[in-house]
Amino acid sequence: MAEWNAYYQNEDEEQEQEEAELAGGDYKVSGRDSLVFLVDASKEMFIKGEDGQPSNFDMTMQVVRSVYTSKIISSHRDLVALVFYGTEQSKNPRNSFKHVYVYHDLDEPGAKRVQEVDALRGEKGAQLAAQTMGSGETSLGDALWCCANLYSDIKLRLSHKRLMIFTCRDEPHGGDSAKDRQARTKASDLKETGVFIDLMHLIKPGGFDVSLFFRDIVSPPEDESELGLQLEPCDKLDDLQKRVRARDTKKRALARLSLSLGEGLNVAVGMYATAVGARKPAAIRLYRETNEPVRSKTRTFHTQTGSLLLPSELKKAQVYGRKQIVMESDEVNAIKKFDEPGLFLIGFKPMEKLKLHHHIRPSVFIYPEEDNVKGSACLFSALLKKCSERKVFALCRGIFRRNYPPRFVALVPQMEEVDEGKVQITPPGFNVIYLPFADDLRTVDPPRCPPASQTQVDKMKEIIYKLRFKYRSDAFENPVLQQHFRNLEALALDMMAPEDIEDLIMPKVDQIDQRLGPLVEEFKDLVYPAGYNPETKPAPKRKTADAGGGAEKKPKVEVTEDELKTHMQNGTLAKLTVPMLKEACKQFGIRTTGTKKQDLIDALSERMGS
């Protein structure tokens, strides 16, 4: 018989399906993401920039390397390929296309591929590229056709197919209308098969004119949250990495829900996690002889007969009033179910009613799902606009998965923001703030400390004002995680030693002292007595026997027989502590098989009831 808080153990093969379970019984097991880098290998790509700036080819290889390493860490099952076009040499499946060099087929990224991309960086990388591939004629149509064959050769299920073109030539064929027509036709064929084509155009003398050719090649934005084709070329490595990261970042919904605005008025929304805590990957158990991953399975056996128990033979129970209430798993699920998953609108409140202490856990983000319910984007946009104009938030009741308890949430409007490069910083939608229940709010007695004088407060305000700076979460990396992945990278790439990391969370003492000047000493003079040294610890005071410094008194654990009978009648034996229950068992000479609280209660109940 299973306890009330015991749940069925799932097999390893069932865990992936449960993680992909969406609300409302909608199951969608996602496939793998795929990304093809199609890089221009013409001579113009190898020209260095002004003031020692790296060439466009070198910047592209750094971005490719960054994507490879990030996918190894975050999503190693994704497929990545690297293809060069406009080369003198040809290397592709069946060598069907001239001037197309497939450097990496569509496959999972690994340490060897990172090393091969590293070999193409810098001056030596440019020389190696010239020797291996060279620069020749350009046929973007053949390159796109070759990429289509790479996708067709993959037998795995692909959930997302993306192709990124890196080039600094706005007319790759030099005005050849036949090649332009062939490239447009092949790009259209690729888009019909579900491949999204993006252009990462790089800086060139005289400017890059997208309208000459590439406007008809790239795919339109997948939804309103994407900005589509960027008209300004990338002239810096940071800008190029930011654009690639924005395009390649997965946008997978945690759940798809229905936002009910009234009777018969529903909006389909997707729920997303905007920020996820970074942590070390879980350890994987390996079989020491073959080094293969070990899969664990859980089986439940009968304690008396030793026979294997099936999930249908397991039941759950709860002790209530000295009786064991047995329930089937279906009955337990029915008790846990409150309502169908979704968001139900209760009303609207002014934004000033939402306090900082109402944020009890990380928020999530909702965005309309036009594919599920037509018209959701229009109605969602109107609701977002009005809530933002009137500075109100929507109060809702939310159930985010089956058998989840209901929560009260606040939908806080968030309008779209873009940076100078027209890259989206914050998407439009609602932030879902989890609100506390009344039981979660407690009155805490503040610690009693001597109050500070107004002079001391003013001096501390000056110190705080001097130390203020604009905080950005992406400016501070976790040094433990960085060192962990640097060590793994060094082992995988056969480096002599891992790269040094800079601990960005350590305070810059010299800069702080320069900013504060004499303020610290002035504050010490106001607060601490003369000659005070905070680094010296005072000697601990020893209590004498006369001062009551003897052995500490132990709490009372004795319970009389009358008190035990009273607890038995009221069913409050569980309120006694374990030492009190043990002492009671000793008084009545009861031998117990275990030391857990429930074992002691059962033994006393059996003795007192007989």
Contact 120, 129 (CB under 8 A): yes
User: CA–CA separation, 72 vs 158, rounded Å?
Assistant: 18
User: CA–CA separation, 272 vs 477, rounded Å?
Assistant: 23
Q: In residues, how long is the chain?
A: 610
How does DSSP classify residue 91? Answer: B
Compute CA 363 distance to the chain's CA centroid, rounded to the nearest angstrom.
Answer: 12
Closest CA to 38 of 183, 208, 176: 183
Sign of the Cα torsion 123, 129, 132, 134 reads negative
DSSP letters, 463-512, are HHHHH-----GGG---HHHHHHHHHHHHHHTT-SSPPP---TTS--HHHH
Backbone angles phi, psi at 165, to 5 degrees: -100, 125
The CA dihedral of 487, 492, 498, 504, to the nearest 10 degrees, is: -50
What contacts 270, CB < 8 A, 6 or more positions away? 253, 255, 256, 257, 366, 367, 368, 369
Q: Is residue 374 flagged as an active site residue?
A: no
Q: Which of 28, 315, 461, 466 is catalytic?
A: 28
Contact 10, 4 (CB under 8 A): no
User: CA–CA separation, 76 vs 68, rounded Å?
Assistant: 9
User: CA–CA separation, 125 vs 116, rounded Å?
Assistant: 10
Is residue 569 helix, strand or coil?
A: helix
Cα separation values, 539 from 193, 536, 542, Å: 78, 9, 9
Sign of the Cα torsion 368, 373, 374, 380 reads negative
User: CA–CA separation, 206 vs 10, rounded Å?
Assistant: 62
Backbone angles phi, psi at 368, to 5 degrees: -65, 145
Active site residues: 28
